[in-house]
Amino acid sequence: MSDQIRLSAVTLDCPDPRALAEFYAAVIGGTVTCRDKQWATVQGPNGRIDFQRVPGYTPPTWPDPASSIMMHLDFFVTDRAATEARVLAAGATKYDFQPNSGQCFVYADPAGHPFCLTTWDGLMP
């Protein structure tokens, strides 16, 4: 099919692409394949995450209805406790507010982007 669309990557704005790429490479077990002051790329086992430098970058606030986070990343994990230890050691912070702690914990990466570690990999009914 000539009009096929496939997700290529997700790109996150940030103040330091190299540092954020190193963080996500450590978290997902990926490899930094491109890094400079303006752009960095992590190739992971299940896809690619890109990072672009944005002057004056302001991180989202969680939870704050006046500050939209626009999007966040969800990572499926089988052992939340072990994965939590890994992401915290890599530089993440765990938010106090956890709206769905039965299956998902919310963290911030070093640039302030929220991301989730979840044990739920199903589709909504």
Token digits of residue 18: 């190299």
**Burial zone of 125 (CB within 10 Å; 0-12 exposed, 13-18 middle, 19+ buried):** exposed
Per-residue pLDDT of 86-117, as tens digits, reads 999 999 999 999 999 999 999 999 999 999 99
> Residue 115 in contact with residue 75, Cβ under 8 Å?
yes
Predicted structure pTM score: 0.87
DSSP state of 28: H
The CA distance from 106 to 51, in Å, is 20
